[in-house]
Amino acid sequence: MATLYLASGSPRRRELLTQIGVPFITLSASIDETPLPAEAASGYVERLALEKARAGLASLERTDAAVVLGADTAVVVDGKILGKPVDRADALAMLDALSGREHEVLTAVALVSVAREDAHVVTSRVRMRALAPGEAQAYWETGEPQDKAGSYAIQGLAGVFVTQLEGSYSAVVGLPLCETAQMLEAFGISCWQSLSVNS
């Protein structure tokens, strides 16, 4: 069976892969995440996921049985991509833009091997309630928003802000499990490998 490598430092993606029983090895894949001029959000996340997976594959000494998974998530409101905040003011501006309205979360997952590559983008819609004065500031001070796209984590403290989700919860967290499992199967990697069968 192929060996899966995860080209991501995200603990959420590690947890999600572990959740579905897929063994993997984590590796580092640094790329430039600057959006291209006039690049659509779906094209942006797909490009980054593929570039991460390709960079991960290129970093390996042996690639004959390797499959590398790359992923990227972007929060989009009014057609604008909200990445990770650069500072407190940036985070508060993002949370203000999301307050009391619906936004999109796009997550791309890509698999790359020496023989083939595939990528898929999943779009979910999330609605946040209006944030009361001081809530965004208090949330920033928890430290949670600092490395999150759109400055929030639905699986964390910001779960109290979310009133509605249409789409894939796991994709909003960082990895669409249904689509990822189907893609892994096509690359010869099965889910539920870590489950032991009791007789």
Structure tokens at 118: 């595939």
Q: Which of 64, 72, 90, 118 is catalytic?
A: 72
The 3 state secondary structure assigned to the chain is CCEEEEECCCHHHHHHHHHCCCCCEEECCCCCCCCCCCCCHHHHHHHHHHHHHHHHHHCCCCCCCEEEEEEEEEEEECCEEECCCCCHHHHHHHHHHHCCCEEEEEEEEEEECCCCEEEEEEEEEEEECCCCCCHHHHHHHCCHHHHCHHHCCCCCHHHHHEEEEECCHHHHHCCCHHHHHHHHHHCCCCCCCCCCCCC
- Could you confirm whether 72 is annotated as catalytic? yes
Which among 78, 71, 28 is positioned nearest to 47, based on CA atoms? 71
- Tell me phi and psi for residue 25, to 5 degrees: -120, 130
- How far is CA 100 from its chain centroid? 23
- The answer to whether 29 and 59 are in contact (CB under 8 A) is yes
Instruction: Write out the catalytic residue numbers.
Output: 72
